[in-house]
């Protein structure tokens, strides 16, 4: 850090910290080299890798919650994805494949429990079977280890699952991403990086030499200054970007993913993760059966309109979040384009038998009473003014800031290569 003095009397230095006497006739500002906003897995991965690249630089990570990965990272399915769905040659395909290896290596190094249980993408009708064959070809093009299995083989390895055939994806695994994120944060701190939890950024301002962040910490407002700012704020990506007055043509629209948990008697109902064959015209993968690393099995998620960006309970409404959506033209265009699907998803959200039916097409054994409550997740979907959904990386920037506005799914699996990619962009921007 650099300490700037307007006037001073006495300064005592202890390593990277500076203690300044409290004489009233001077003002001092401690300037970090880098400030990162956001303690989800992408923000923490970026901070950790930035400190690895530049050990001489001071890096501060701030997070508004008391723990890391509380929002999107901590409310997903915990799946280590193999990269089945992504266009050959795309960054998403590349990062996902790299991310599987990097995530597993990290877990092995730090003693984090994971399991490569594999995934079955199950076709249940003729149309899905045709889509399955096309998806199988994509897997081969992307260099993913997969096996095409017929109905008989499917029944042998998963007796409680029905279908006309399936793709077995060997590399897919499960893990607790909150544990992974926390371990990354500890690695970052071990390198000399600084973290500050329970610190909510409420304002940003850019100056010729630095950026100032107004932060609420312990009920008090403090100012943190840095030479360069990186925001990885997920559900709040558009708002942190706008704090600097950067004009954008996107907005975060929350989509709520609702889950159920099966009772303990069903913890062994499947050996693999069970996914439907996705509709290529829809951005979501459909309701699936997921083995969790704690031994339980979840059902979900669906995809319904969220009315609160950080709403994980049964009923969640934020007037501010709703107002932001309804005053954004892109929201209405998305609603119109996906009205039929949205109505079906909403109906199944409120009517449990409808939700169950989406699962029974490949797991008819399950009954209504098997679906037990489980916390929902929220997906931060970047939507453009023209109503198009952003499926790729989206950045905004100013002379002294870089904002990660959209880190495409599966960002958790790909967090290490994504963090490396962000560091590359930073180095190119600041000449590092």
- CA atoms of 209 and 197, how far apart (whole Å): 26
pLDDT of residue 283: 66
pLDDT of residue 280: 75
191 pLDDT higher than 70: yes
Mean pLDDT, residues 138-149: 91
Mean pLDDT, residues 99-109: 97
Q: Provide the token pair at 419.
A: 């963090």
- CA atoms of 363 and 335, how far apart (whole Å): 31
pTM: 0.89
- CA atoms of 385 and 329, how far apart (whole Å): 6
- CA atoms of 137 and 142, how far apart (whole Å): 9
42 in Cβ contact with 419 (< 8 Å): yes
Alpha carbon distances (Å) from 51 to 34, 90, 173, 189, 197: 10, 27, 28, 9, 18
Mean pLDDT, residues 411-426: 95
299 in Cβ contact with 289 (< 8 Å): yes
Calculate what percentage of the chain has a pLDDT beyond 70.
93
pLDDT in tens, 10-48: 233 333 333 333 333 333 457 999 999 999 999 999 999
pLDDT of residue 14: 30
CA 339 from chain centre, in angstroms, equals 26
Multiple choice CATH, 115-175+251-384, 3.40.50.150, 3.40.190.10, 3.30.9.10, 3.40.50.300:
3.30.9.10
Q: Provide the token pair at 71.
A: 């929002």
126 pLDDT higher than 90: yes
8 pLDDT higher than 70: no
pLDDT in tens, 235-290: 999 999 999 999 899 999 999 999 999 999 999 999 999 999 988 777 677 899 99
151 pLDDT higher than 80: yes
The topology under which CATH files domain 2-70+179-249+393-430 is FAD/NAD(P)-binding domain (3.50.50)
Kindly state the helix (H) or strand (E) to which residue 205 belongs, with its residue range. Answer: strand 199-206
pLDDT of residue 87: 82
pLDDT in tens, 39-93: 999 999 999 999 999 999 999 999 999 999 999 898 888 999 998 888 888 888 8
Which of 7-16, 208-217, 357-366 has the lowest average pLDDT? 7-16
Q: Provide the token pair at 209.
A: 């030499």
Which of 64-68, 340-344, 428-432 has the lowest average pLDDT? 428-432
Mean pLDDT, residues 154-169: 96
Mean pLDDT, residues 300-308: 92
Integer distance in angstroms from the first to the last C-alpha of the chain? 16
Opening angle at CA 274, ends 374 and 415, nearest 5: 75
Rounding to the nearest 10 degrees, give the CA dihedral for residues 408, 412, 416, 421.
10
pLDDT of residue 409: 81
pLDDT of residue 15: 34
3 pLDDT higher than 70: no
179 in Cβ contact with 112 (< 8 Å): yes
All residues at 6 or more sequence positions from 109 whose CB lies less than 8 Å from its CB, including other chains: none
186 in Cβ contact with 50 (< 8 Å): no
Domain residue ranges in the chain: 2-70+179-249+393-430, 115-175+251-384
Q: At what angle do helices 91-110 and 177-190 cross, to 10 degrees?
A: 70
pLDDT of residue 29: 56
Please give the mean pLDDT across all residues of the chain. Answer: 89
361 pLDDT higher than 50: yes
Kindly state the helix (H) or strand (E) to which residue 190 belongs, with its residue range. Answer: helix 177-190
User: Buried b / exposed e across 240-253, counting CB within 10 Å, b at 16+?
Assistant: bbebbebebebbbb
pLDDT of residue 28: 40
Please state the φ and ψ torsions of residue 348, each to the nearest 5 degrees.
Answer: -70, -25
Calculate what percentage of the chain has a pLDDT beyond 90.
77
259 in Cβ contact with 299 (< 8 Å): yes
In terms of Cα–Cα distance, which of 118, 116, 128 is closest to 162?
Answer: 128
Q: Where are the alpha helices (DSSP H) in 274-378?
A: 319-326, 329-337, 339-350, 352-360
- CA atoms of 101 and 271, how far apart (whole Å): 22
Q: Which residues pair with 380 in a beta bridge?
A: 254
């Amino acid at each position: 850090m650099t300490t700037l003095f307007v006037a001073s009397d006495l300064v005592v230095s202890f390593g990277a910290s500076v203690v300044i006497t409290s004489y009233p006739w001077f003002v001092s500002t401690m300037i970090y080299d880098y400030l990162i906003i956001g303690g989800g897995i992408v923000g923490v991965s970026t901070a950790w890798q930035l400190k690895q690249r530049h050990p001489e630089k001071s890096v501060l990570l701030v997070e508004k919650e008391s723990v890391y990965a509380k929002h999107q990272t901590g409310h997903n399915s915990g799946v280590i994805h193999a990269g089945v769905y992504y266009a050959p040659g795309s960054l998403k395909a590349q990062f996902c494949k790299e991310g599987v290896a990097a995530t597993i290596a990290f877990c092995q190094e730090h003693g984090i429990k994971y399991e490569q249980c594999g995934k079955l993408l199950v076709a249940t009708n003729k149309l899905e079977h045709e889509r399955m064959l096309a998806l199988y070809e994509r897997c081969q093009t992307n260099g993913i280890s997969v096996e095409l299995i017929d109905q008989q083989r499917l029944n042998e390895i998963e007796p409680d699952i029905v279908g006309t055939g399936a793709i077995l994806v060997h590399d897919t695994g499960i893990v607790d991403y909150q544990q992974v994120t926390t371990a990354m944060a500890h690695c970052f701190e071990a390198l000399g990086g600084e973290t500050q939890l329970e610190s909510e950024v409420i304002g940003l301002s850019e100056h010729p030499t630095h950026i100032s962040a107004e932060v609420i910490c312990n009920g008090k407002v403090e100012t943190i200054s840095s030479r360069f700012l990186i925001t990885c704020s997920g559900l709040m990506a558009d708002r942190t970007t706008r704090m600097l007055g950067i004009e954008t043509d996107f907005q975060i629209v929350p989509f709520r993913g609702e889950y159920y948990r099966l009772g303990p008697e069903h913890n062994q109902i499947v050996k693999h993760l069970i996914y439907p064959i996705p509709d290529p015209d829809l951005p979501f993968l459909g309701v699936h059966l997921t083995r969790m690393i704690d031994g339980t099995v979840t059902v979900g998620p669906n995809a319904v309109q969220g009315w609160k960006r950080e709403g994980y309970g049964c009923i969640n409404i934020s007037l501010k979040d709703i107002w932001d959506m309804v005053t954004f033209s892109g929201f209405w265009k998305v609603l119109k384009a996906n009205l039929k699907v949205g109505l079906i998803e909403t109906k199944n959200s409120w009517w449990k038998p409808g939700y169950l039916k989406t699962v029974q097409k490949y797991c008819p054994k399950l009954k209504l009473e098997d679906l037990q409550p489980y916390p929902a997740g929220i997906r931060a979907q970047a939507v453009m003014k023209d109503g198009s959904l952003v499926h790729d990386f989206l950045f905004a920037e100013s002379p002294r800031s870089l904002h990660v506005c959209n880190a495409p799914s599966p960002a958790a699996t790909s967090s290490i290569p994504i963090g490396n990619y962000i560091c590359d962009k930073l180095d190119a921007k600041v000449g590092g």
